[in-house]
């Protein structure tokens, strides 16, 4: 697949899946109308929306143990979160995720938002420097 994508609507979900196959993605049908797309250790689940256009049933993430772990940003580092299991995200994995997201959106004719085009977007943001912070001191006003 080319480095730059022009989002052009596909006539069917099947056309987009075929384009993803040519781009080196492995496609597995999960349930009626839901497809698991996997490449370079990352995956997502696609389905057809009520309007007929493709949409994510499960957002892209790290594919491991037949499950998709989602990205969590803890301020100082990104982690893959899969239930109770949390592992640090590596640069290669983040790059693979970003490339898969770009190719998925391009093949399916999905809109790419500005912040998504800049890099990887986390499913959850959790900054512990804000949680449990003690209340600030109250200063007396000048009289």
Per-residue pLDDT of 60-103, as tens digits, reads 999 988 899 998 888 788 899 988 889 999 999 999 998 998 89
Which residue ranges form the domains of the chain, and what is each CATH number?
Answer: 13-68+93-116 (3.30.310)
Q: Residue 141 is encoded by which pair of tokens? A: 């006003």
pTM of the model: 0.73
Q: Residue 111 is encoded by which pair of tokens? A: 């809109």
Query: Which of 3, 45, 5 has the alpha carbon at shortest distance from 26?
Result: 45
Contact yes or no for 104/60 (Cβ under 8 A)? yes
Per-residue pLDDT of 17-42, as tens digits, reads 999 999 999 999 988 889 999 999 99
Q: Residue 41 is encoded by which pair of tokens? A: 């250790």
Per-residue pLDDT of 44-58, as tens digits, reads 999 988 888 888 899
């Amino acid at each position: 697949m080319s480095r730059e994508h022009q989002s052009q609507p596909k006539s069917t979900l099947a056309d987009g899946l075929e384009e993803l196959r040519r781009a080196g993605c492995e496609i597995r049908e999960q349930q009626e109308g839901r497809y698991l797309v996997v490449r370079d250790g990352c995956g997502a689940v696609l389905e057809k929306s009520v309007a007929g256009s493709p949409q994510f049933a499960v957002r892209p993430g790290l594919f491991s143990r037949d499950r998709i772990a989602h990205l969590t940003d803890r301020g100082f580092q990104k982690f893959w979160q899969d239930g109770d299991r949390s592992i640090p995200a590596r640069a290669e994995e983040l790059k693979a995720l970003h490339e898969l997201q770009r190719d998925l959106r391009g093949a399916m004719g999905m809109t790419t938002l500005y912040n998504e085009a800049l890099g990887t977007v986390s499913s959850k943001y959790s900054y512990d420097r804000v949680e449990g912070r003690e209340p600030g001191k109250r200063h007396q006003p000048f009289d």
